[in-house]
Structures are given as C-alpha cells and as structure tokens.
Structure 1
Amino acid sequence: MTIILLFLAALLVAGLAWLFAVSPGRPDPLRDAAGNVIPGSISERVTLDIGGIPQGMFIQGVDPANPVLLFLHGGPGMVEFFMEQEHPTGLENHFTMVWWEQRGAGISFSPDIPAKTMTVAQMISDTVEVADYLRTRFGQDRIVLLGHSWGAYLGIQVAAAAPDRFLAYVGMAQIVHQLESEIMARDYMIKAYRARGDEAMARRLEGASVSMEAGTSPEWMRLRDGAMHRIGVGHTHDMDSVITGIFLPMWRVRAYTVPEKINIWRGKLWSRPFFWDALIRDDLRNRLTEFALPVYFFVGRHDQTANPELSRAYFDAINAPVKSFYMFENSAHSPLFEETERATMILLNDVLAGTNALADAR
C-alpha cells in the first residue's frame, strides 16, 4: 500500500509540474516555417478597462497593417482561443486576429464583477468599446466582426447597433431562436440514436423534456452536450467527447496561467445563468432583420447546437447591402475550425471585398 501511495504521489507531483510548465500565461510568438520569430509580428495578451472592469484579449498577426478581425466566442462564458491551438486557422497570416474574452469569461472572469452588469445590453456596449479600441490602435476605420454561437447572438445585435464600426458581420452557427433549436435537436437525436440501435439513449432523451412552454429541463441540459458529441453533431463533426475535445486541450494552452485555466471553467459556470433563459426565448426573426452592413452566415451541415434550417430561414428574412450564406458540408458547430481553407477563402475574397461571389446558390 505504501508503494502504491508513493507512486500516486509521484504521479501527482509530475502532473502538477507539467501543468505549471505549460502554463506561463503568455501566447507563443508567431514563427515562420524555419522556426524564427516573424519580424514585426504581434502575439500578445492585453488587459483593458472595458465597461468599468478589466477585460483581456489575445492579439495575433504577422503584420499590424492587416485587417482586424474581432472574434466573439460562444457560451455564454466559453472562451475559444484554445481552438486556434487545436485547429490552427492560419488567419493571423491575413488578419490581426483578436480573441477577446468577454465579461465574466476566461481571463476576463472575476467574482467581483457586479451581477447587475451581466446583461446583453452591457455585452453589446463592451463589444463596441473593444472595437473602438482596436480601430484606434490599428488605425482602421472599420473592422470585421465574427461571432460564434452565443457570440453570433451577441454579434448580430452589435452589428445592428453599431454598423459604422464594422466592415462586415460574419455569423458562425448563427443563433436565431434557441429554444426552437433545442427542441429540434432533441427530436433529431432521439431518431439518430434509435437508428443506431441505442434504445437506452433514445429513451433517456425522451425523458429529458424540452418545450416552448417549460424551456429546457435539467435532465436535457445534463444529457445534451455529451449526446450531441457522441454522434458528431456538437462542437465539431469529428469531436466525440467534450472531455477529450474541449476540457483536456484547454489545459495545454500556454497563454493561460494555471489559475486562469481554472477560471475558464468558473467563468463558464458563472456566466451562463445570467443569459440562458432569455437567450433561448428570444426570436431574432421577430425583431432584427434590417442591417446597414454586409452580413455573412457560416453554417455547418451537421450542427445541432444551432439548427442550420433556422439559420437559413433567418438569413432569408434579412435585408442588408450584401448578404451571403455558406453551408459547410463537413462541419458541425464550428466551420471556421473544421473547414478552415474554405472559410479563409470566403473571408479574404467575399467578406473583405464586400461581395458574395462564393455564396451558395439558393
């Protein structure tokens, strides 16, 4: 028994030593193919006072003169800089990429944030303030705004409220009416698991209620993410586990310290309750269809987190100077990270040019 305990203690010490070694709390510099730091490139973390509290972001780009792209992560409260490490996009070669971590999330989490400020209106104000900082710092009149999932729910409202700040709005996995999407996802998964012969999971999903009247039950929320990932309709089409696909990779990201990695999960748990009930019941089709800037939707064919049919119906109802819809056939919830080459081509050739040459034919 003593030998076993000593062995376990040694493993724990080794694990903690590894964790601290891969957690210096700063992003790695950008390097060329030969491993040399690219002269004039940016790879930094910045903390600013935004909306009265310190908020952080990671900024990376090979040339500060490139267009700025502000990425709004999902959640609420779920940061995504780790995705750039696990599924490199290479967008820092074309854009100055800004991975802002929103109020209450990641390096912007603090238990001292006043709960009364955790509102969509404040999040919209924060986003505009971040955009103004970036516009001033990089000398650009307008920047690109890309929102993912919850970030798309937030981002499209920002785009409507402050179109003069943005060259274009890109909604990835665009939320429309999330409660309707949850109901559709449950129906889809019951059929999918039954078709796979997994009657036990199908019955568990049937017992996890989701309805327009009662919303999302605790049973559904406990089953939802795991069940989605097991059949490839969650965060990415090839991700079959939240643990191996999200939880473990997050601990390997060098840009965070160990306490900050813990705060990523604290922030996710803390942020979500402020927004979830209102988010799922808000139907954007009924109140937000007129835009004064180009609007682009990136949608994954296999996405059951934000239903593709709802995204398409919403897109069809939108009026904008330019609008384009792109279905990514091999993606689930994260086309930018799943089909990077096509997403990059669209960003460079359609979004920056303000055109829709690569858009799907209706």
Structure 2
Amino acid sequence: MRVDKKINILLIKRIMRSWVRIMLTMISVFLIFILTCLALLTVHSTGKPKHFLDENGKELERSISEKIHVNVNGVEQGMFIKGMDKTKPILLFVHGGPGMPDYVISQENTTVLEKYFTVCYWDQRGAGLSYSNDIPIDTINTEQLVSDTIGATNYLCNRFGQDKIYLMGYSWGSFLGIQAVAKAPELYKAYIAMSQMSNQLESEKLSYEYIVEQYKKVGNKSRLDKLEKSPIDEKTNLPTAYWSMRDDMMHSLGVGTTRNMKSVITGIFLPVMESSEYTLKEKINLWRYKFTSPSIKNLQNEEYGTDLNEKVPKVEVPVYFCHGIYDHTISYDLTKKYFNKLQAPMKGFYTFNESAHSPMFEEPEKFSRILEEDVLKGINGLAD
C-alpha cells in the first residue's frame, strides 16, 4: 500500500510538472504574440500623414498634408490639414463622439472633401491628438468646445489669409458646429451638417422604440428582455445598460454608423489601430480618453439636456443639412423638423436614400455633387 501511494504521488507530481510546463509554454507564446503585435503596431504607426500622389507616384504639386499642434484657447490641440490643392477654400471639420475623431474613418472611406477644400481635421480638446493629462476636466464642456471651434477657425483664417471659411459638423460635431456659426457668423461662408442633432434625448427614445419594434418582428426575445430591463424615460434618461448595447444593436440592424458596418470593432477600432498616421501612443490616448474620461459623460449629459430647437432657432449663414434616411443614431425626422423651423438666409436639406448615419461615406458621389453644384456656389438647387 505504501509503495502504491508513493507511485501515485510521483505520478501526480509528474502530471503537475507537465501541466506547469504546458501552461508556462502557453503563457510564453501568448506574451511573444502580444509583444510581436505591439512591435508591428509601433513600426507601422509612424505618425506621419499620407501625401496625395499623382499617377507617377509623386506628391501633387499644390497639395498639403500636415499633422500639427497649435495653441487653441490656451491648450495645445492637434489637427491634420489635408487638401489636393491648398489654394482651395478652407473647411474646418468638427468630429463626432463626443471624443471620437473621425479622421481615420474619413480617409478609409473617401477623400471627397479634400478635392474641393483644404480640410482641417481638428481633434477636439482632450480627444486623439489633443489628449493631455494636464487639461482640467472642468474645462471640457460644451461652451468651451464651441469656443475652441471658433478658436480653431481663427487660426485657420489667420494662417491662410481668409476672412471666412466653411464649417462642417458631423454627428456630435454638428451639436458644436451649429452653435459656433450662431455665435460667430462673421467667420463662416456656410455651414454643412452631416447628421445634424436637434433634440438628442428625444432621438434616443425614438431609436429605442425602433429597435424594440424590429426585434419584435424577428422574435429576438433575448435582446427584447435586455431592452425591457433598461427603458429610456424622463427620469432615467439613458441607462448604462441601454448605452452599453445601443451601438451593437443599431449596427446589427443596419441603422448605425453606416448601412454596411456591422461592428464598431471592425468598422472603427481596427481601422484606427491599423492607421499609420497616428503613433501607437496617440492611438492609446485616443481610446483612453474615449473610454475612461469622466468628461465624456459630462458632455453627453449636456448633449441630452439641450434642445437646439430652442437654443439655436436662427443662424445668419447658409446651411446645408445632409441626412441618411436610415439614420437612427440621430433621428432623420427630428432633424427635418428642426431644419424646417431653423431660420437662415439660405438653406438646403438633402436626403440620402441609401445611407444611415454617414452619407458622405456611404454616397460620396451624391455628396460630391452637392458640394460642387450647391455649397460652393451658395445655392440649393439639388435640395429636396
């Protein structure tokens, strides 16, 4: 019996040593894989902006492709300045989010803007290139970001010798953009909105109802149960549980960022990580701010607590609203109602029948025509 016990103990020890070796090997392989990925990411993430090339592979003579930091209202903020012809009019692109620069996704999908404008893709205070631990959280608010939009505009006017430039707001950027043109109309030739916000809390309620309706049609009980446990109302506003599954549900139904984007991971996260124009540190800072900064929640609270129908009922510049009929990130119907109420010297609303939240990326040919034939001529001949 004692011999048998000794044999069993020896066998157990051998098995344990074997498992330890296997586990150590697996851990080592995993660490090597992670380190290799980080090394490849670091090498690929040069942080240098891509240039516009002609058919011979040479840089276009009058093109511009810069990545710079400038002081905007006392804070160093980053931006890409891109254009096929730097003599073209200047356009400031105000990105979405809050806190989600759209430079990479714009370059992945289309360079329509760079054909007609010298475009400044500005990373808002705290976001992307503009990330810094030294920025006080209490300075990242809507009022400050609107002031920063005007500050970035002044920089561009001074640098390029322009009295006025064009302003474009995308999604969250439209929340800031229309407030900026209302506050400083003398700086802008026109305002272009891609998926213009109006009353975002009401928009979220409509989106919630739409998602519930669609899942009822297909009998997706598991998701319906989750939605019913996390309703949107005046008291709860946007519950954390709903917010955590909102984007995934919208993309699964083809009503999110684009009609074809099925996942934020494959559609946004991976393109950002694969981009060579941000350094690895800049990419980490981009996601670090987006997912961990308390200022994001504060900005969302301001966004959902503001009705632009009341705050900005009038602007003194021409406005062009471009909106996808399938957009449920920002309600098409609410935006159309806001447009109809908005007072402006000239305005045009453009419905994109094959688009969700990003008509510029989804229907670039139509968007290009609108820029060339309406926006740059100051007319609205192609409007609905």
TM-score (norm 1): 0.96
Q: Structure 1: any 5+ residue segments left out of the alignment? A: none
User: In the alignment, does 2:215 pair up with 1:200?
Assistant: no
Where in structure 2 are the equivalents of 1:157-176 lying within 5 Å? Answer: 157-176=179-198
Task: Give the SS at the match of 2:227.
Answer: helix
* Number of the residue aligned with 1:58: 80
Residue 16 of structure 1, CA deviation: 1.6
Choose 271-280 or 162-171, whichever is displaced more: 271-280
Task: Give the SS at the match of 2:257.
Answer: coil
Contact 2:142/2:302 (8 A) holds in 1: no
State the alpha-carbon separation in 2 of the partners of residues 222 and 264 from structure 1: 19
* Number of the residue aligned with 1:292: 316
Task: Give the SS at the match of 1:211.
Answer: coil
User: In the alignment, does 2:349 pair up with 1:325?
Assistant: yes
Where in structure 2 are the equivalents of 1:8-157 lying within 5 Å? Answer: 8-157=30-179
**Of the two, which has the highest radius of gyration?**
2
Task: Give the SS at the match of 1:325.
Answer: strand
User: In the alignment, does 2:294 pair up with 1:252?
Assistant: no
Contact 1:180/1:212 (8 A) holds in 2: no
Structure having the higher helix fraction is: 2
Residue 5 of structure 1, CA deviation: 4.2
2:333 to 286, 309, 325: 309
Residue 293 of structure 1, CA deviation: 0.5
Q: Which amino acid aligns with 1:293?
A: V
* Number of the residue aligned with 2:245: 223
Q: Which amino acid aligns with 2:350?
A: Y
State the alpha-carbon separation in 1 of the partners of residues 182 and 132 from structure 2: 29
Task: Give the SS at the match of 1:47.
Answer: strand
State the alpha-carbon separation in 1 of the partners of residues 230 and 300 from structure 2: 18
* Number of the residue aligned with 1:353: 377
State the alpha-carbon separation in 2 of the partners of residues 163 and 352 from structure 1: 17
State the alpha-carbon separation in 2 of the partners of residues 353 and 283 from structure 1: 31
Residue 9 of structure 1, CA deviation: 3.6
Residue 31 of structure 1, CA deviation: 1.0
State the alpha-carbon separation in 1 of the partners of residues 154 and 231 from structure 2: 43
What does the per-residue CA deviation read over 1:219-268, in whole Å, with 9 as the maximum and x for residues that have no partner?
Answer: 11111111111111111111011111111111011111111101111221
What does the per-residue CA deviation read over 1:64-117, in whole Å, with 9 as the maximum and x for residues that have no partner?
Answer: 110111100011111111112320233212210110000011010112101221
State the alpha-carbon separation in 2 of the partners of residues 178 and 38 from structure 1: 42
Note the aligned Cα RMSD (angstroms). Answer: 1.3
What does the per-residue CA deviation read over 1:119-138, in whole Å, with 9 as the maximum and x for residues that have no partner?
Answer: 22211111111111111211
Contact 1:73/1:101 (8 A) holds in 2: yes
TM-score (norm 2): 0.91
Task: Give the SS at the match of 1:285.
Answer: helix
* Number of the residue aligned with 1:282: 306
Task: Give the SS at the match of 1:216.
Answer: coil
Question: Would you say how many aligned residue pairs link Structure 1 and Structure 2?
Answer: 360
Choose 26-35 or 226-235, whichever is displaced more: 26-35
Q: Percent identity?
A: 42
State the alpha-carbon separation in 1 of the partners of residues 73 and 288 from structure 2: 21
